[in-house]
A and B are shown apart, each in its own frame.
Chain A
Amino acid sequence: MALIEVEKHEVEEEQKPEPVRVRGLPFFPHFLLREVVVMCLIAGGLIMLASIYPAGLLKPADPFDTPSPIYPEWYFLYVFGFLKFWTWDLGPIPAKMIGVTVPMVLWYGLLILVPFIDRNPSSDIRKRKVAVTLGVIVLIGILYFTYFSIVHH
C-alpha cells in the first residue's frame, strides 16, 4: 500500500514557513479502499448473524398475562441490577429512588461532565492513574450489576 508524504504549511508566527510533513495514507483511494473492505466484512458478519440467529418474536402482547422472567435489552440490565442490589434507605431518601436515580441520572450526568471534571491535561495513560482507575472501577461495576440482574431474577 502506498504511503505518501503530504505537505502542510504551518501558518505560525513570523518563523519561516517550514513545511510540516504528515505521514499518512491518502484518504482517496487507499484509505477509502481499506474502509470499504472493513465495511464489507462487518456487513457480511451482520448478514451471517441474522441468518443463523433470526430476530425472535414471542406470543402477542397480553396485558393480563405477566411472563417470567422478563429481561430488558442487555444494555439496560445494569440499571435493573443496581435497582435490585440497592436496598438501603439513606435517611429520608427511599432505596428505590436511589436505585433509579444513580444508574440513570447521576451516571449520565457524570459521564457528560467527564472533560470538565478531569482537568489533567496529559493524555499519557501513565500520568492519568486516577482517571484510569476510576474508569476501570466503573467498568467492573457495570459488568457486576449486569451479572447481578441475570442471577437474581
Chain B
Amino acid sequence: MTLNDKIYKWLDDRFKLSELLPPIVKHPAPLNVVSNPLYCLGGTAFLCFLILVITGIFLAMYYKPTPAEAYKSVEHIMTAVPMGSLIRSVHHWAANTMIAAVMLHMMRIYFMGAYKKPRELNWVVGISLLLITTTFGFSGYLLPWDQLAFWATKIGTGIAGSIPVIGGYISLILVGGNDIGAETLTRFFAIHVMILPIAIATLLGLHFMMVRIQGISGRL
C-alpha cells in the first residue's frame, strides 16, 4: 500500500470519497460543449476572476486607501515592489478581459436562446453578475487616485446621481459627502475588496450550482 493509497483510505473511511467522487469525476462534458470554443467564455471569465483575486490580494498588501498615500503606494508598487508592476498590470488586463468575457458570454446565451425555460433564474443571476463585474471595474478605477481616476469617478458618480428618485441616495452612499475625497476613497476600497467579492462569490456559487443541476443548454 503506497502512501497515496493510505491517505485516500484514511479520507475515504471518514468522508465516503468512493461514493462522493465518481459523479463529479466521471460526469461527461457534452460533445457540443467540447467542440465549440464559444462555450469557453464563461470559464474564461471565471479564470480571470481567480487571477483577479490572487493579484488583488497582493495589491492590497501594499495599497493604502487614503488621499495622501494612495497615489504614492501605487507608484511604490509600480517602481519599487518586486514584480509589483507585473502584478498590477495583470490585475488591470484580467479585469478588462473578464468584463469582455462576461459580455460575450451573455451574448452567446442570448443568441443561442439558452436563457429559456428552465434557465430563467440563471439568466437573472447572470445579469446580476454582469452588474457586479462592471461595478468592480468602476470602484477599482478610483483607487490609484490619479487624475483619470478622480475625474472619471466625478463624472460617473454625477451620472449615477442624476437617476430619478434613487440617484441622490446612490450618489450619497458612493461619495459619502458632497465631494470626492477621503470618504469616497475608503468607501470605494471597501466596496471593491469586501462587499463586491462576497456578493460575486455568492452569486457565482448559485450560477454554477444551477448549471450543474439543469445541465448546459442543448445545441443551437
Residues of A in contact with B (beta carbons under 8 Å apart): 3-4, 6, 22-28, 31, 34-35, 38-39, 42-43, 46-47, 49-51, 53-63, 65-67, 70-76, 79-80, 83, 96-97, 100-101, 104-105, 108, 111-112, 114-116, 118, 120-125, 128, 131-132, 135, 139
Contacts and interface: CB of A to CB of B under 8 A. Distances in A.
25 contacts: A6-B28, A24-B30, A24-B31, A27-B27, A35-B43, A38-B43, A39-B47, A46-B51, A46-B90, A47-B86, A51-B86, A53-B89, A54-B85, A57-B75, A58-B147, A61-B147, A62-B150, A63-B180, A67-B147, A83-B159, A112-B128, A114-B110, A115-B124, A118-B113, A125-B220
Contacts, number: 195
Nearest to A79: B159
Q: DSSP class of B's interface residues: helix, strand, loop or mixed?
A: helix
B71 A50 contact: no
Nearest to B142: A61
A76 B160 CA distance: 12
B162 A70 contact: no
Given A57-B74, A60-B146, A112-B124, A100 B90 contact: no
A97 B113 contact: no
Interface string B112-128: 11111101100110011
Interface string B99-121: 10001000100111111110110
Nearest to A27: B27
State the 5 A-B residue pairs at the shortest beta-carbon distance, nearest first.
Answer: A24-B28, A50-B89, A123-B113, A61-B150, A55-B92
The bracket for how many chain B residues form the interface is: 35 or more
Interface of B: 24-31, 34, 40, 43-44, 47-48, 51, 67, 71, 74-75, 78, 85-86, 88-94, 96-97, 99, 103, 107, 110-117, 119-120, 123-124, 127-128, 131, 134, 137-138, 141, 144-152, 155-156, 159-160, 162-164, 167, 179-180, 217-218, 220
